[in-house]
Amino acid sequence: MPASPSPAIRVSGLGKTYRIGTDGDTASTAAEAFVRWVRNPTQRHWTTFDALDDVSFEVPQGEAVGIVGRNGAGKSTLLKILTRVTAPSRGRIELRGRVGSLLEVGTGFHPELTGRENIYLNGALLGMTRNEINRRYDEIVDFSGVEKFLETPVKRYSSGMYVRLAFAIAAHLETEILLIDEVLAVGDAEFQRRSLGKMRDAARSGRTVLYVSHLLHTVRDLCTSAVLLEHGHLTYAGGVDATLEAYQHSFATFAERQADPANRPGVGLVRFADVSVAHENLRSGDDVVVDYSIGTDDDLPGEYYVSAHITDEGGATIVQCDSRLVGYWLNPKKPHDGRLAIRNLWLKPGRYSVDMFVCTSTGVQDMWEAAGRFDVRPELPYSHSVSGDGMNRGAVFADFDYSELP
| DSSP 8-state symbol, 108 | T
> Which of 37-41, 59-63, 298-302, 319-323 has the weakest average pLDDT?
37-41
> Residues 208-231: what's their mean pLDDT?
85
β-sheet with 288-294: strand ranges across:
272-277, 288-294, 336-342
Whether residues 221 and 362 fall in one domain: no
> Residues 318-342: what's their mean pLDDT?
95
In this structure, is residue 4 part of a structural domain? no
367 confidence band (pLDDT: 50, 70, 90) = very high
Whether residues 148 and 204 fall in one domain: yes
Whether residues 131 and 195 fall in one domain: yes
Range of the domain at 221: 9-28+44-250
CA distance 84 to 99: 10
Which phi and psi angles does 349 have, rounded to 5°?
-55, 140
* Higher pLDDT pick, 132 / 217: 132
In angstroms, how far apart are the furthest CA atoms of the chain?
Answer: 79
Task: Give the chain's end-to-end CA distance (angstroms, integer).
Answer: 63
* Domain CATH code at residue 75: 3.40.50.300
Which pLDDT belongs to residue 67?
93
H-assigned helices in 145-188: 159-172
In this structure, is residue 61 part of a structural domain? yes
In this structure, is residue 115 part of a structural domain? yes
Q: What is the dihedral of CA 277, 280, 284, 285, to 10 degrees?
A: -40
> Residues 380-398: what's their mean pLDDT?
76
In this structure, is residue 3 part of a structural domain? no
Rounded (10°) angle between helices 115-125 and 130-144 = 130
For 261-319, the pLDDT digits (tens) are: 998 989 889 999 999 999 988 999 999 999 999 999 988 888 999 999 999 877 788 99
For 164-181, the pLDDT digits (tens) are: 888 888 888 778 898 888
Whether residues 209 and 327 fall in one domain: no
Quickly count: other Cβ atoms within 10 Å of residue 399's Cβ. 11
> Residues 71-94: what's their mean pLDDT?
89
Whether residues 179 and 272 fall in one domain: no
Give the residue among 176, 189, 146, 216 at the shortest CA–CA distance from 197: 189
Q: Are the CB atoms for 290 and 315 separated by under 8 Å?
A: no
Whether residues 243 and 290 fall in one domain: no
Q: Which residues contact 6 (CB under 8 A, 6 or more apart)?
A: 61, 96
* Domain CATH code at residue 334: 2.70.50.60
| DSSP 8-state symbol, 301 | -
Domain count, the chain: 2
| Mean pLDDT of the chain, nearest integer | 84
> Residues 91-106: what's their mean pLDDT?
82
Q: Has residue 27 got a pLDDT over 60?
A: no
Which pLDDT belongs to residue 44?
58
Whether residues 175 and 111 fall in one domain: yes
Whether residues 238 and 272 fall in one domain: no
CA distance 292 to 290: 7
> Which of 133-147, 233-247, 318-332, 389-403 has the weakest average pLDDT?
389-403
> Which of 175-179, 251-255, 299-303, 370-374 has the weakest average pLDDT?
251-255
What pTM did the predictor assign? Answer: 0.66
> Residues 240-262: what's their mean pLDDT?
86
Q: Has residue 58 got a pLDDT over 90?
A: yes
In this structure, is residue 258 part of a structural domain? no
> Which of 178-187, 215-224, 246-255, 390-399 has the weakest average pLDDT?
178-187
Q: Has residue 70 got a pLDDT over 80?
A: no
Measure Cα distances from 345 to 230, 383, 396 in Å: 30, 17, 8
393 confidence band (pLDDT: 50, 70, 90) = confident
